[in-house]
Amino acid sequence: MSPHETRERRSRALRIAALAGALAAMNASACQKNIECTAEVTAGAGSFKSTAKGEEKNAPALRREAVREACSKMCAPTAEKEAPKGCAAKCLVDAEAGKVGAKIDCVKAP
């Protein structure tokens, strides 16, 4: 095999490898699924809903974000009486501990 043929084969192999890498990257981005998590927090003051959207791989964080936002909505009327962040943080902890009613559903986003 001549040096020219060797270079040509090596060049062809590099092009194939680059193409395969590009296709793999395209497939990986196409496989990322988006989800939508909806949380409903129920307390004495009523029910409060919120939604968080993002990639499926971040589902635990999205679930938590949805609950945190619903808790913030619940705490909004009492914001003048106590620190709203403190209220929302306590609500989030209570929801995770089951002390406050919280319903969380995550579905694939359209």
Strand segments, DSSP code E, in 2-89 are 34-43, 46-55
pTM of the full structure: 0.65
Say which residue, 71 or 9, is predicted with more confidence: 71
**C-alpha to C-alpha distances, 108 to 34, 61, 105, nearest whole angstrom:** 6, 15, 10
- For 24-83, write each residue's pLDDT tens digit: 555 555 566 899 999 999 987 689 999 999 999 999 999 999 999 999 898 887 666 656
Q: Which letter does DSSP use for residue 77 in this model? A: G
